[in-house]
């Protein structure tokens, strides 16, 4: 079945509240919706969502890739998706577009054959539990937000850190008081030096904070620093910004620099995400799945991958919970932290 | 859709001619056919084919795994194949059974949804070209067989070596005369020491033999020796017996020990084969796909994987051409070296 058309559309979302990480503050999100239509009218959908401070992509440049993607896809057989994936590897400057287009192709392929995408990926699970994230805030606001999330039923809470070691330690340690049964992911988004990172994480350990993962403590290119943190942290250390491609994944594994890799479709596309899953599993490295600013349409992509492969120990699929959407467009149910397919 | 039954059946084949490699001679082949049947009667088929000198598996022990596989599969949903694959990872002593069962599951899954397995794997190609193999023979017989294969249209010819460096050099160099446009794979099946291997392969280079790949020159566990051969061979060097699992693949890549990995479903099963494809591609390591003693039913498994992923530079899928079969059971056409799907 041939691909008849491809269309890109810009969509604009506001955050319920401004969202701050060590790299900057976001108040709005502009995504690109991708629709791939087959000759029989079957449609596959994807969404590209990038954060400029993470990947250097802007919504404008992502939107401009429509022409290139049309050139690659139109008239091609959907059943030859691997060929199409190979050609889409050239979208190396715009991994968010690669992700959206690759998912839209698989979505169309699956619809054509009456398979659900998560079944195509292996059908391992049909229920997931995600964390929810608190940005960088002052102590009081941090505690208010952690408490609110905890009361909403989330037992896994992610706290953004990486601005100031002392304040960050206090923010996380004190969060225990308002969310006593929760476990935490702490995410520095590259904000610490290696020595600060170790000081920070060892302090949390002395205070018996339940930390699941310490994410991207140091500068993305400082693999040696990442390795230093890994072997001096009592908790698992994850690469996020350090790993976009499967080659990046292979490198941090070769260098024994991490315990966990955080896969995001928007960094890797579906093809490299699949590869990273396999590479990490071979190395006994645990996996996390995260997101950028995807709406319910875009987060669906990661939900199907995570449920189908069952490969992820840590789930951070909460972006859609922070955006004002006129209409919920996922094919899943959200019940507090639980995501239910089918 | 639930799995209703699983059945194993022993089948016996004679080789047209005795087949000798550095590890021994084979005159017959006993395989296990695996059928997985769903509640609606859909059947998925696989075949386990092992060579004792390669993997330590015997047909008798493979056949005895039927009970265990029934325990794992019966009553389970075919749509949750990844869960089933995870459980089948315990078949580490019998990778050939793992391969047959995993493929039978995917075959049933695909039939249920009306997909061809090679489309499920990505549909990259629907036509493949394989080499054909000459075992270890004296010089005269080697040349007779190489000439016959060449006249049958094969432009890629594999010659088994690894018994005696001088004789092997002569056998390959002289083969050029009877197959002037052919290129060769030379496969020592671990038969050389690292120094013999380098002597052998450099001699072929001095004689301008067109060698595509030098396969498994040294003892499977001698990764340092393999690396020595790799960096002293003008031609690509492949691991075969050194790589069964995805962990093995990661190790030879970490140690920069090979240019090529030869994947065989019978060594890795489908799950680890998929993983090795991704790992190798991330490392820019080329891939070969090979076989044990599969009939047309079993070779079909590798054909679908190779065609669908399009991941293999070198194809050695010729076992079915050497076995006496009452009935051709592939869903492909064989025209000399060409394998045509659809």
Return the CATH superfamily for domain A120-341. Answer: Enolase-like C-terminal domain (3.20.20.120)
First to last CA, chain B: 27
Mean per-residue pLDDT over chain B, rounded:
97
| Chain B nearest-CA residue for A278 | B275
Task: Indicate the residue of B119, B250, B308 with minimum beta-carbon distance to A283.
Answer: B250
A88: its two tokens? 């889409």
Q: Is the pLDDT of residue A133 over 90?
A: yes
| Chain A nearest-CA residue for B105 | A122
Q: Please state the domain extents for chain B.
A: 3-114, 120-341
Q: What is the DSSP string of A28-97?
A: EEEEEEEEEEETTS-EEEEEE---HHHH---HHHHHHTHHHHHHHHTT-BGGGHHHHHHHHTT-TT-HHH
For residue B167, which of B203, B121, B210 has the smallest C-alpha distance? B203
Please give the helix or strand (H or E) that residue B173 lies within, else none.
helix B165-178
B258: its two tokens? 């090979």
| Chain A nearest-CA residue for B247 | A282
Task: Check A246 against B278: CB less than 8 A apart.
Answer: yes
Q: Looking at CA atoms only, how far is residue B216 from chain A in angstroms?
A: 22
Task: Indicate the residue of B124, B247, B283 with minimum beta-carbon distance to A82.
Answer: B124
Q: For A3-114, CATH number? A: 3.30.390.10
Q: What is the pLDDT of residue A164?
A: 96
What pLDDT, in 10s, does the model give residues A28-43?
999 999 999 999 999 9
Mean per-residue pLDDT over chain A, rounded:
97
- Which one-letter DSSP state was computed for residue A293? S
What pLDDT, in 10s, does the model give residues B18-35?
999 988 899 999 999 999
Mean pLDDT of B127-147: 97
Q: Is B342 exposed, middle or buried (0-12, 13-18, 19+ CB in 10 A)?
A: exposed
Sign of CA dihedral B243, B132, B292, B124: positive
Q: What is the CA radius of gyration of chain A?
A: 19
Q: Looking at CA atoms only, how far is residue A152 from chain B in angstroms?
A: 31
Which of the four pLDDT bands, split at 50, 70 and 90, describes residue A143?
Answer: very high
Q: Looking at CA atoms only, how far is residue B254 from chain A in angstroms?
A: 6
Q: Looking at CA atoms only, how far is residue B108 from chain A in angstroms?
A: 13
Which of the four pLDDT bands, split at 50, 70 and 90, describes residue B178?
Answer: very high
CA angle A304, A305, A310 (to 5 degrees): 105
Q: Is the pLDDT of residue B342 over 90?
A: no
Q: Is the pLDDT of residue A108 over 90?
A: yes
Q: Which residue has the tokens 């149910």?
A: A333
Which of the four pLDDT bands, split at 50, 70 and 90, describes residue A342?
Answer: confident
Please give the helix or strand (H or E) that residue B271 lies within, else none.
helix B265-282
Which residue, among A102, A115, A284, would best test binding to B if mutated, counting the most B CBs under 10 Å from its CB? A115
Cβ atoms A211, A173 nearer than 8 A: no
* Contact list, B249 vs chain A (CB under 8 Å): 282
A324: its two tokens? 């004002």
Residue B153 main-chain phi, psi, to 5 deg: 105, 0
Task: Indicate the residue of B81, B115, B282 with minimum beta-carbon distance to A250.
Answer: B282
- Which one-letter DSSP state was computed for residue A146? H
In whole angstroms, give the CA distance from residue A271 to residue A84. 11
Mean pLDDT of A188-217: 98
A151: its two tokens? 């009361």
Task: Indicate the residue of B82, B121, B279 with minimum beta-carbon distance to A279.
Answer: B279
Task: Check A282 against B77: CB less than 8 A apart.
Answer: no
In whole angstroms, give the CA distance from residue B229 to residue B217. 8
Q: Which residue has the tokens 């959908």?
A: A45
| Chain A nearest-CA residue for B274 | A278
Cα torsion through A261, A121, B239, B248, rounded to 10: 50
Which residue, among B89, B117, B275, would best test binding to A if mutated, counting the most A CBs under 10 Å from its CB? B275
Tell how strand A156-160 and strand A132-134 pair up: parallel
Task: Check B279 against A282: CB less than 8 A apart.
Answer: yes
Active-site residue, selected from the candidate residues A160, A227, A267, A286: A160
In whole angstroms, give the CA distance from residue B14 to residue B8. 20
Q: Looking at CA atoms only, how far is residue A78 from chain B in angstroms?
A: 9
Q: Is the pLDDT of residue B185 over 90?
A: yes
A268: its two tokens? 């890797």
Q: What is the pLDDT of residue B97?
A: 98
Task: Indicate the residue of B80, B124, B253 with minimum beta-carbon distance to A123.
Answer: B80
Active-site residue, selected from the candidate residues A156, A246, A264, A286: A264
Assess whether the region B3-114 and the region B120-341 belong to the same CATH fold.
Answer: no
In whole angstroms, give the CA distance from residue B71 to residue B74. 6
pTM for the predicted model, two decimal places: 0.93
Q: What is the DSSP string of B275-307?
A: HHHHHHHHTT-EEEE--SS--HHHHHHHHHHHH
What pLDDT, in 10s, does the model give residues B73-86?
999 999 999 999 99
* Contact list, B115 vs chain A (CB under 8 Å): 113
Active-site residue list of B: 160, 264
Beta-bridge partners for B185: B158, B213
Tell how strand A338-341 and strand A127-129 pair up: antiparallel
């Amino acid at each position: 079945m041939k691909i008849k058309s491809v269309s890109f559309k810009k969509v604009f979302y506001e955050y319920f509240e401004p969202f701050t990480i060590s790299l900057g503050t976001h108040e709005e999100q502009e995504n690109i919706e991708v629709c791939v239509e087959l000759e029989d009218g079957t449609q596959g959908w994807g969404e590209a969502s990038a954060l400029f401070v993470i990947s250097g992509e802007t919504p404008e440049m992502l939107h401009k890739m429509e022409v290139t993607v049309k050139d690659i896809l139109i008239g091609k057989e959907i059943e030859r998706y691997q060929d199409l994936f190979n050609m889409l590897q050239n979208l190396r400057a715009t991994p968010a577009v690669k992700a959206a287009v690759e998912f839209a192709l698989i979505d169309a392929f699956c619809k054509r054959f009456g398979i659900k995408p998560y079944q195509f990926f292996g059908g391992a699970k049909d229920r997931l539990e995600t964390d929810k994230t608190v940005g960088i805030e002052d102590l009081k606001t941090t505690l208010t937000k952690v408490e609110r999330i905890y009361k909403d039923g989330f037992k896994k809470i992610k706290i953004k850190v990486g601005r100031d070691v002392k304040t960050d330690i206090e923010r996380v340690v004190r969060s225990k008081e308002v969310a006593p049964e929760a476990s935490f992911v702490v995410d520095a988004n590259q904000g610490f030096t290696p020595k600060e990172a170790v000081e920070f994480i060892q302090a949390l350990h002395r205070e018996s904070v339940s930390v699941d993962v310490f994410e991207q403590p140091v500068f993305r290119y400082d693999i040696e620093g990442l390795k230093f943190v890994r072997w001096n942290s009592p908790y698992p250390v994850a690469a996020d910004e350090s790993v976009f491609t499967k080659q990046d994944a292979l490198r941090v594994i070769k260098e024994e620099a991490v315990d966990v890799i955080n896969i995001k479709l928007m960094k890797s596309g579906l093809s490299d995400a699949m590869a990273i899953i396999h590479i990490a599993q071979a190395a006994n490295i645990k996996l996390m799945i995260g997101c950028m600013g995807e709406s319910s349409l875009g987060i669906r992509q990661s939900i199907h991958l995570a449920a189908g492969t069952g490969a992820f120990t840590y789930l951070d699929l909460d972006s859609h919970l922070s955006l004002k959407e006129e209409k919920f467009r996922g094919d899943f149910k959200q019940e507090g932290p639980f995501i239910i397919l089918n």
